[in-house]
Structure 1
Amino acid sequence: MSVIKEPKPFHRELELERLIFFSDAVFAIAITLIVLQIKLPDLPEKVPADRYWELFKPAAIQFLTFAASFVFIGNFWVRHLQLCRFLQNYNEGLIHRHLFFLFFIVLFPFSTSALLQTNAHYMLPFFIYLCDLAGCLAALFWISYYVFQKNPDLAVPGHHTEKELLYQRFKYGFLTMATGFTCIAMTYFLYPENTAYQRISYMLIPALALFNYFRLKIKKRNTLRLVHKMEPNH
């Protein structure tokens, strides 16, 4: 009867690197696929100067949509990098949560292309895009909770202040998007014809993000102040 031996620490480290490298590859592929949405218009042989903007407007909108998605994916990659630098081990639960997070990253090319179909009478693509953003933030929060709160042995020892602040950042990011998305959806459901209320609801997400940004700044300052007070005097 054969006995399955535990991998050596070096092998565990290599496997953890494979998990991170796979995630980086998914990010790179998602960004590459997004840029394929930009297409230059077919120009006739003679185009009056006053028609240039009319012809290039769809390409400009596609580029701005790509830029927004690039910023979002880049921000998620940075947050994922900040989280992974605390990892020293992994288990099956962490792998499943990473795959859940990467599912929404892979979904970005689809949600970005769908966003280009949004208009005043067909808002479903816009809600798909918001769901994608909310899914990424929810997955990051889920991973951070699993690592820092439920299985702290997966993280490197020490650095308690940095871990707590990063966990709080992920939590507030998810709550901001979830609250904002819910309010926007409810506004469209309750006031389907009131465009003024609908436009005002768009401002809720950046307003909540700004509020939580300063809230985290205050929490970080108070936490660091408490840490300094607890340190022994030299």
Structure 2
Amino acid sequence: MSMSVIKESKPAHREFELERLILFSDAVFAIAITLLIIEIKLPHIPANTPVANYGEIFKPLIGEFIAFAASFMFIGNFWVRHLQLCRFLQNYNEGLIIRNLLFLFFIVAFPFSASAMMEVSVHFMLPLFIYLCNLAGCMATLFLLSYYIFQRNPNLTIPGHATEKELLYQRYKYNFLTMATGFTVIAMVYFMFPENLMYQRISYFIIPVLALFNHFRIKIKKRNTLRLVHKGDKNN
């Protein structure tokens, strides 16, 4: 009984396959970012409605557009990060494909979580929690993807650029730790103060505070890393 064996792709064909993986990812980003606007619809305006009442009619639309704009910004930001990651790739394997698909899963979920934020008939904290879970999933899987590429399989990347690779990996790691720490604090507040709505709302501010802290932390690390690189170049 003969068995068919899949032969290893030639370098040129391998490059084409990697390009297909990246193009597929770009298509997923494009579809997800387009689906965001589908949830927004103009409100019904009854006939002979005074112009003075238009503000009240369109008031719910403001919240929907804020959720849309925030989601558009987040998806666009994740696309840029994914682009920065992919520019170092020269090869791929099954592990990379699986982790990339896992990251895209949370990107595709953005229209759903954004629609939850647009829904004004439910309690505000629940859709916000769903939205933050979506963000946390994106950051966690992006970090997992960068860890797999830069730490576990550096042979998948182009040679050189060690400083850029390390700084990119550290940025993704700090972003993930920010969201993970923020979620832990929020969960603890909900567990310790299940009836205190004020404490629960305040706990959500821990995420932007940590994000700002890590932003400056990454800038300092980048400055110190570049300083060491320049110092090493001068010594050589």
TMscore range, shorter length: over 0.9
TM-score (norm 2): 0.93
> Cα offset for 1:60?
1.5
1:109 counterpart residue number: 111
Of 97, 100, 103, the match for 1:98: 100
Query: What's the secondary structure of 1:6's corresponding residue?
Result: coil
> In the TM superposition, what are the counterparts of 1:155-166 in structure 2 within 5 Å?
155-166=157-168
CA offsets, 1:184-229, max 9 Å, x none? 2332332233233223212111110010010011100110111111
Query: What's the secondary structure of 1:50's corresponding residue?
Result: helix
2:78 counterpart residue number: 76
- Residues 41-50 or 119-128, more deviating: 119-128
1:61 counterpart residue number: 63
1:211 counterpart residue number: 213
2:229 counterpart residue number: 227
Q: Kindly indicate whether residue 17 of structure 2 is the aligned counterpart of residue 26 of structure 1.
A: no
User: Which residue type is aligned with residue 93 of structure 1?
Assistant: G
Identity %: 71
> Cα offset for 1:97?
0.2
> Cα offset for 1:120?
7.8
* Count of equivalent residues: 234
User: 1:118, 1:161 → 2: CA distance?
Assistant: 46
Q: Tell me if the contact between 1:118 and 1:125 (Cα under 8 Å) persists in the aligned partners.
A: no
1:11 counterpart residue number: 13
User: Which residue type is aligned with residue 13 of structure 2?
Assistant: H
CA offsets, 1:114-150, max 9 Å, x none? 1223678463222111111000000110010000000
Query: What's the secondary structure of 1:55's corresponding residue?
Result: helix
User: 1:166, 1:76 → 2: CA distance?
Assistant: 13
User: Which residue type is aligned with residue 150 of structure 2?
Assistant: F
User: 1:4, 1:232 → 2: CA distance?
Assistant: 50
Q: Tell me if the contact between 1:141 and 1:167 (Cα under 8 Å) persists in the aligned partners.
A: yes
1:48 counterpart residue number: 50
Once superposed, what is the RMSD of the aligned Cα atoms?
1.7
> Cα offset for 1:49?
3.5
Query: What's the secondary structure of 1:41's corresponding residue?
Result: coil
Of 136, 139, 153, the match for 2:138: 136
Q: Which 5+ residue runs of structure 2 have no aligned equivalent?
A: none
Flag the 1:198–1:84 CA change in 2: closer, same or farther, 3 A.
Answer: same
TM-score (norm 1): 0.94
- Residues 102-111 or 174-183, more deviating: 174-183
Of 189, 192, 198, the match for 1:190: 192
Q: Tell me if the contact between 2:139 and 2:175 (Cα under 8 Å) persists in the aligned partners.
A: yes
